[in-house]
Chains A and B, each alone.
Chain A
Amino acid sequence: MTDKLHRREWMGRVAASILSASGGMAAAQPAAADVLLRKPVDSGSFSLPVIGLGSWISFNVGDDLQARKSCAEVMRYFFQAGGRLIDSSPMYGSSQPVIGEALQLLDARGQVFSADKVWTSGDGRAQIETSRQYWGVPRFDLMQVHNLLAWRTQLPLLFELKRAGLLGHVGITTSHGRRHAELAQLMHAHPLDFVQLTYNIVDRAVEQRILPLARERGIAVIANRPFRGGALMRAVQRERLPVWAAEAGCNNWAEFLLKFIVSHPAVTCAIPATSRVEHVRENMGAARGRLPDTAQRARMAATVAAF
């Protein structure tokens, strides 16, 4: 997707981009339920919907044609609901070719914000090219160093590719709360566009240092493991959704957990992974309506902590 297209979309929906630009905890303001919530990226040169699509495990279905068709249906609904960012990695087995096949089937290469990773100590350029061919996109909108692997080699390569116009943006990733000190150092030392990290209603260590730093440095944040690999959803679904959740804009547990994440002013989007259309429908619900305010976020966290 071109920056120009992003910009045009963003300008058209700027009234609905009620989030971070103003500063504080987002969105105590009411928002129309049918307006897609987006957050500005790259100093506001474009914006992204607050819900993206991960592909860890969920899209690793091998050569199973039936399962690949299901993944394509998930992506079809994701795009129909306004979704843009899809994230993958060479580490995710068959996820990359599954995504590429679905993009072709849905004729959606122009719609996707393609986010992938370089995950090798060896030839990063070759791996990125292989990934690009799997996706079938002219270039990646975002390329990230996966789990900081060989970042001393790969990060300069990514910046070089970006300068040459072969990549849109550069990022680094971590997960499960690992290596935050190193992550912070890299955020200080390099002009990163994105960081990807684990942030959810119970894994909140990044609130202390990493998220404020991202905000200060103007780095977009992608939150992975929003449901802790499904464990959080399984835990909360045993309980009844609090009545007051509706006041925070949450109609189900998926929205409850996701809106907690994306209502943090430093978080650009969350990337829940699923292979089921009914789940992506629920997840995309978190990209519409109001977002919880600071007090509501505290209540949400306390509620889940009490389970």
Chain B
Amino acid sequence: MGEWSTYSLDDFLMFSPQAWYRMLELHNRAWWPLQIVAAALGTGLAWAVHRRLRPALRLGLVLAGVGLLFVAWAFHWGPHAGINLVAPYFALAFGTQGLWMIGLAMLRPPLALARGSSDATTRLALALLVGALLLYPALALVWMRPMAQAEWFALAPDPTMLAALAMVLMLPGSQGLRRPCVTGALLAVVPIAWCAATGLSLWTLGAADWWLMPAAGCLAGVAAVWPAARSPVH
């Protein structure tokens, strides 16, 4: 305990902010124009959730799951592992979460958003989804970074995990699961842990937007456990 108290977060960060943002830039360049495809699919998903279409939940679980798998392989296992020794563990976490979400979408009878589900939690989930898919890339401009370093759903870890968290948040209000709250809680572990981990990492890097993911995680956590939030909004 004595020695551990001498460590700070800085001691565990092994790359510079420049290396991190350049990596995002090179990653974007390597996979262009996948960003456009992912954004288009995401927009369609957000519309489907907004309209409470029956396949929206399954579609969202699959899309977020595939996004997580892609980030696990193409980002964490790829360039991120080159500068961060723990990135392969992140790849494992993202991959497992992705497979779990895809598996859930394959269940019979199929999962679906409850008809007329318009409680506060589902609305928050929709807001997080829109944030992950459409607003997150634009944040690069807000924080005065080049658009080439923007973080896109299905390519960068934060918006992808945020979209996954949004879909998980919809599970308790869904039809087709025997214990939707338990399933939702279990599936929220990795996303919420990631929100904390990425927040700490960005804070150590001195990034202005370090608080975004932890804030989203806290909001989602509170919404999931707060019974009043499950009541329909009139």
Contacts and interface: CB of A to CB of B under 8 A. Distances in A.
Contact of B14 (A56, A64, A176): A56
Interface residues of B, number: 19
Contact of A58 (B7, B16, B82, B85): B16
A17 interface: no
A61 interface: yes
Nearest to B13: A57
Contact of B23 (A62, A176, A229): A62
A229 B3 contact: no
A91 to B, nearest CB: 7
Contacts of B79: 62-63
B14 A57 contact: yes
A263 interface: no
B6 A60 contact: no
B22 interface: yes
Interface of A: 56-58, 60-64, 66-67, 91-94, 176-179, 229, 275
Given A93-B15, A93-B83, A93-B85, A178 B6 contact: yes
B3 A94 contact: no
Contacts of A64: 19, 22-23, 26
A155 B107 CA distance: 56
Given A93-B14, A177-B6, 12 more contacts: A56-B14, A57-B16, A57-B19, A61-B19, A61-B22, A61-B83, A62-B79, A63-B82, A66-B22, A94-B82, A176-B7, A178-B3
B6 A62 contact: no
Contacts of A92: 14
B14 A62 contact: no
B26 A60 contact: no
A62 B16 contact: no
Given A67-B22, A93-B14, A93-B15, A60 B83 contact: yes
Interface of B: 3, 6-7, 10-11, 13-16, 18-19, 22-23, 26, 79, 82-85
B15 A57 contact: yes
Contacts of B16: 57-58, 60, 275
Contacts, number: 54
A93 B82 contact: yes
Contacts of A66: 22
A229 B10 contact: yes
B75 to A, nearest CB: 12
B26 A63 contact: yes
Contacts of B11: 176
A-B pairs, top 6 by smallest CB distance, nearest first, are A62-B82, A62-B83, A93-B83, A60-B15, A94-B82, A64-B22
Nearest to B16: A57
Contacts of B15: 57, 60-62, 93
10 contacts: A57-B15, A60-B83, A61-B19, A67-B18, A91-B85, A93-B83, A94-B82, A176-B7, A177-B6, A229-B10
Contacts of A62: 15, 19, 23, 79, 82-83
A295 B79 CA distance: 50
Given A60-B83, A93-B15, A179 B3 contact: yes
B138 to A, nearest CB: 25
Contact of A60 (B3, B7, B19): B19
Contacts of A60: 14-16, 19, 83
Contacts of B14: 56-57, 60, 91-93
Contacts of B13: 57
Nearest to A65: B26
Q: Most A CB atoms within 10 A — which of B11, B14, B23?
A: B14
A63 B10 CA distance: 23
Contacts of A94: 82-83
Nearest to B82: A62
A91 B85 CA distance: 8
A82 to B, nearest CB: 26
A64 B85 CA distance: 17
A118 to B, nearest CB: 15
A66 B19 CA distance: 11
A187 B3 CA distance: 20
A275 B84 CA distance: 18
Q: Most B CB atoms within 10 A — which of A56, A62, A67?
A: A62
Nearest to A228: B10
B123 to A, nearest CB: 40
